[in-house]
Structure 1
């Protein structure tokens, strides 16, 4: 009962952290003040006489009025040297400010897509629209703006970044629907788990009208990652239980391996060098028509083992486990997918990881994946006694 209550408390705590009131006009639905009333064009270029509520801008910036967008159809496109920014004020004690935004491909007949640089006072990352990552014309990405508090100003800057020297054939990024989520510096720890955020309940916010989850690009630092206490290798998709199969709680991780392996990594707390621990986790699929042979490599301390799952893409989940010996006080835990799998719509997909638990020290023999045979053996042993 106590464990059940703690899990419910954690879910309520996490869900209360999402906020959209930090930014003014975050979805660009308040148009430029001088926009023509009977505008028939799909976009209009902003100039020195334009004022976009809540935002300042430089360079080539277009107000887009007709696209398949996640909200009601207004966005901003950043052309060559285009930049927009807005400063908002941190609220309360020290919190992590995590941004989620929609990125739309800027056109069809172009040889490359320009990058979008997203930065805060001490953070920066570049994102690009990827053709094989979603089945709709826009994608949700996340970025950790950093840790702030006590009324500190946070200047959010978004600007285009050319990737190809031929700017005439470049699709410039279109941005829509920005959402900021705050997460406390100290996360609630589930009793009996030596990992923090082992259920992935603490991560970026989901956009209101999104059914595609949130993409988290490579972030080697636990501190800078939008997935709290986990670093990211390659690309993963943060999925919600409303639109995907999530084994436990409200969120999980889908690993998207492409040209190179992808995965997540963290570290235990309070482990003792030389002691043995049991790592358990759930491996499954997101119910997104991802069919194939999943191979996930798990590293725990100095122990490494591959786990496989045949997925039919309809929402499965199976518990696995391994025993490892801690090689240091903070043992590394990682999950890496080596399987490149795609749906029939040529969208990248992959294995789902959830319910990662490192149990307190063991005194017995090495345990393996729980099976019915093991349960029967235990039953017979108890019966003999």
Structure 2
């Protein structure tokens, strides 16, 4: 398989505010360009064998691009690294079996590495971790298109903590119902999480907000929501509205919570779009008695023993 490769050596620093990448946006121009190249007049400049890109090494055929193109940001979890551990970040452009003679290749620009906290804690009694989607990939400065997240082969590669992506979704920081981030589910895609250690055969209420990203998406949306053995479809218009789904827990150790978009929607420019999900909250039905009942029974039993 033929490929182009560009590599950057990363040194993980002990402070989160230090820069992780050298020349992450390729604004430091290549050095030792071929004599016949002219970056001031050419859209693409082919790098020669003796050319160097500050902070990077490369193999194969690589060009420096000086034109403007529509861009799309992607997010990926790079895993856990130790302090002062050197990491090789390798970006490869690969052909497919049906397109072995292609002369068009992806263009790579600004990269951002964001550190995330080790432990997520429940928020306001929510039994779901990261139900507001506040813990996710970073956003590039002045970005207005969000970050695309694709399904990952392994849970450890998920960029959206505690959630599994099915298909493709967009992590957004604009027109958000609550907080600083939300999820826009694109055509025939979805997200999934799990609630653990729910009280067996107890009833729970799942509340959530559905709307749109105000990105010119045309038409209404149909969103399917599953919680345990309960499932319901919701029709969503542009205005963000709160919904709820009541379900009964089972004896399974993990209760699956799934949101799926059944609408193939596009903007007027032909860009995929879809419903926005935010504020996913899980509470016991009836003031939380299902969750705290065992604790009250223990306190009552200890009180009776102390009174003897």
Judging changes above 3 Å, is the alpha-carbon distance between structure 1 residues 138 and 333 closer, same or farther for their aligned structure 2 residues? Answer: same
Specify the alignment match of 1:375 in structure 2: none
Judging changes above 3 Å, is the alpha-carbon distance between structure 1 residues 323 and 166 closer, same or farther for their aligned structure 2 residues? Answer: closer
Q: By how many angstroms is 1:184 displaced?
A: 1.5
Specify the alignment match of 2:71 in structure 1: 138
Stretches of structure 2 that go unaligned for 5 or more consecutive residues are 1-14, 289-308
In structure 2, what is the Cα distance between the partners aligned to 1:270 and 1:246?
A: 30
Judging changes above 3 Å, is the alpha-carbon distance between structure 1 residues 285 and 166 closer, same or farther for their aligned structure 2 residues? Answer: closer
Q: How many positions carry a matched residue from both structures? A: 270
Judging changes above 3 Å, is the alpha-carbon distance between structure 1 residues 38 and 345 closer, same or farther for their aligned structure 2 residues? Answer: closer
Specify the alignment match of 1:21 in structure 2: 19
Specify the alignment match of 1:348 in structure 2: 272
* C-alpha contact 1:18 1:180 (8 A) present in aligned 2: no
Judging changes above 3 Å, is the alpha-carbon distance between structure 1 residues 220 and 280 closer, same or farther for their aligned structure 2 residues? Answer: farther
Q: By how many angstroms is 1:226 displaced?
A: 0.4
Specify the alignment match of 1:265 in structure 2: 192
Find the partner of 1:185 among 110, 118, 139: 118
1:68 paired with 2:68, answer: yes
Q: Rg bigger for which structure? A: 2
Find the partner of 1:319 among 230, 233, 242: 242
* C-alpha contact 1:256 1:348 (8 A) present in aligned 2: yes
Specify the alignment match of 1:101 in structure 2: none
Find the partner of 1:230 among 147, 155, 163: 163
TM-score (structure 1 length as normaliser): 0.66
TM-score (structure 2 length as normaliser): 0.82
Judging changes above 3 Å, is the alpha-carbon distance between structure 1 residues 286 and 33 closer, same or farther for their aligned structure 2 residues? Answer: same
* C-alpha contact 1:285 1:352 (8 A) present in aligned 2: yes
- Map 1:102-251 onto structure 2 (within 5 A): 137-219=70-152, 221-240=154-173, 244-251=174-181
In structure 2, what is the Cα distance between the partners aligned to 1:146 and 1:275?
A: 36
1:184 aligned counterpart, secondary structure: coil
Specify the alignment match of 1:31 in structure 2: 29
1:223 aligned counterpart, secondary structure: helix
* C-alpha contact 1:275 1:362 (8 A) present in aligned 2: no
Q: By how many angstroms is 1:329 displaced?
A: 2.9
- Map 1:67-86 onto structure 2 (within 5 A): 67-68=67-68
- Map 1:231-380 onto structure 2 (within 5 A): 231-240=164-173, 244-257=174-187, 261-311=188-238, 316-327=239-250, 328-362=252-286
Q: By how many angstroms is 1:167 displaced?
A: 4.1
Q: By how many angstroms is 1:276 displaced?
A: 1.3
CA displacement 1:131-178 (0-9 Å, x = unmatched): xxxxxx211111111122233222211011112544444421110001
Q: By how many angstroms is 1:273 displaced?
A: 2.3
* C-alpha contact 2:223 2:262 (8 A) present in aligned 1: yes
CA displacement 1:261-286 (0-9 Å, x = unmatched): 20000011331221211100001111
Q: By how many angstroms is 1:38 displaced?
A: 5.3
In structure 1, what is the Cα distance between the partners aligned to 2:109 and 2:205?
A: 44
Aligned CA RMSD, in angstroms, stands at 2.1
Judging changes above 3 Å, is the alpha-carbon distance between structure 1 residues 286 and 187 closer, same or farther for their aligned structure 2 residues? Answer: same
Stretches of structure 1 that go unaligned for 5 or more consecutive residues are 1-16, 70-136, 365-385
